[in-house]
Each structure stands twice: as structure tokens, then as C-alpha cells.
Amino acid sequence: MVGLIADIGGTNARFAIVQPHLDIEYERVLPCADYPTLVDACRQYLDGLAPSMRPRHAAFAIASPVIGDRVKMTNHHWTFSIEETRTALALDELDVVNDFVALILGVPHLQDHDRLQVGGGTAQPRMPIVALGPGTGLGMASLVPDPAGGWIAVPGEGGHATMAAMDDLETAALSLLRKRFGHVSVERVCSGRGLVNLYKALAQLEGQPADEAMTPPECSARALNGSCPISAKALEMMCAMLGTAAANAALTLGALGGVYIAGGIIPQMVDAFARSRFRKRFEDKGRFGPYLAKVPTYVITRPMPALLGLASIVDHD
């Protein structure tokens, strides 16, 4: 059975067709900002397919909580009814899940070349797994084994948990951000926008003028090419804070099956990430440092990994 799958983030919608046995084809990325509604973007993709490829079943991953029929994206203006979307696209079935649920469902199907290990030991089989990652926002989900030998995906909104400081500089930066935002979540500092938030806070702390037009891609680029020391400090701080958040999730869920880093930022800079303080901070948990030292952390390097999880939903159904 041919199925339509789509990973819809705050910036881009990634479409593909899935054939039986998780064979993913006709991948295409459309900018969300170019389309008034989700249905418009879907039709643009479907119009490029041959009539024989028109799917009757679809599975969408959305960067927002999915509770009931009405879905409102967290970092984009699209809001839609699942049932109305199914009808508008002439589908027999439409499954909609959180984007990191789709991603975590794809983890058991990853091959060794789809991921890069950054520290830790060997993943323990049939133990919980966590995935998180900075992009437009910060998603998080977990995978726990079920008694039948499969896996159960557990959605979560860990990106909106409170970010904790681990040194004096982080305390000062978070203090400035609290004055600006009130609550400072992990997403406020570990995401594209979060990187810019840290850049502006560090510039203020150093008494330097900040580039108010700075964008996340520009901040990353300037950090990596060494042209902006404050951007470089912001990126290093973001990686360290991501280590704190990842370790908190691993401890909370007992993720001895491993922690996976995804999203639109880290996989584009794996070498710099591997050199960052991420892993050192991940293990910086006092008495539970030895416990976390055994937990492997991976960067998912496979392009559009959530499509693999969506394909498993369509194939299973």
C-alpha cells in the first residue's frame, strides 16, 4: 500500500511516499512559510505525483502536542482539524503524531551509518531510549519496550521544562533571559532561537553591541568559522546546556538504551558538537556520573529521520 508521510516542523515540511517494507521515495522539502495552510502544502506535493501514486493513507508528524482533533503548531501559525484535513486530501486514514514520536519510532530501524556515537558505553537492549534535539524549537520523546517485544513511543514536552544553570556564567545569562521571558525553558536556550538568545545575553554581559538582526544560521556560521567570538561562546554554552537537559532526561527515564540527538542544528555540525562540552556536561551529575558514563549518546546523521518512524506507522497499519 502506498502511503503519504510528512514531517512538519516550524520551518519546513518534509514529504515522501512510503512503499511496503519501509521503502521511502519521492522526498521533497517545502518551506512552511510559502503556504497558507497545511492542506495547501500537501496538495503542492501531491500534485507532483503520478495519479497511480496517489495515497489513501497518510501519517504526519507535527512539531506540537497532538491532543484530540484540533492541532495548533507551537512554532508556526498553521492550525488544523485532523478529520477535516483527511477529508480535504481524500484520504481513508490520517494518523497525526508529535514530530519526536515519529523520530523515536524510527530509532530501532537506524543502521550504524545513520548515527554517530559521542561518548558513553554500549546501549543495553530492551531498555528505554530518549531522543531530543534543537531545531526551530526543541523536541523530546522516549521509547520504552512493551511485553510483546515491540516498542511504545511516549510523547513529551521536555523542551519546555525549566533550564537550570551549572556555572556562574550560565546563571548570569539565564538571569538576563528571565527578565526578558519570565520562564526560561530548555527550548529558550537549546534551539535556533535559543542560540540567538544566548548570543544576545552574552553580548550584554560583555558590554558589547549585539547584532539585533542576527539569525540562527548566521550565528551558527559565525561561531563555526571563528568570525564572532560571542557567537562561538553562545554555541558552546548551548551544547553544554543540551548536555544538562539530555542527562536530566536520561536519569528521569532510565535511558540505558541510549540518548539520541536530532533536530535541524546539531547534525549539521557533528565535528564541533563532538568537541564541545556536551558529553562532559552530560556526565556531570555528581554521584550519578558513573551511571551516565555508561549511557551512549548518538547524533542521528540520517537525513529526515522522522520519515522512517512515519513509514513504520503506515507499514504497520
pLDDT (tens digit per residue) in 24-45 = 999 999 999 999 999 999 999 9
Q: Are strands 70-72 and 79-81 parallel, antiparallel or unpaired?
A: antiparallel
Taking alpha carbons only, the member of 154, 98, 97 closest to residue 130 is 154
Q: Are strands 259-261 and 12-19 parallel, antiparallel or unpaired?
A: unpaired
Q: What does the pLDDT read at residue 317? A: 57
Q: What pTM value is reported for the model?
A: 0.89
Domain ranges of the chain: 3-105+304-316, 111-301
**Each residue's pLDDT tens digit, 100-126:** 899 999 999 999 999 999 999 999 999
137-173 burial: b if 16+ Cβ within 10 Å, else e: bbbbbbbbeeeeeebebebbbbbbbebeeeeeebeeb
pLDDT band at 303 (very low <50, low <70, confident <90, very high): confident
**Each residue's pLDDT tens digit, 79-99:** 999 999 999 999 999 999 988
Least confident of 109-118, 292-301, 308-317: 308-317
Q: What does the pLDDT read at residue 1? A: 67
Q: What is the mean pLDDT of residues 271-279?
A: 97
pLDDT band at 52 (very low <50, low <70, confident <90, very high): confident
Please give the CATH architecture assigned to the domain spanning 111-301. 3-Layer(aba) Sandwich (3.40)
Hey, which CATH number is domain 3-105+304-316, 1.10.600.10, 3.30.360.10, 3.40.220.10, 3.30.420.40?
A: 3.30.420.40
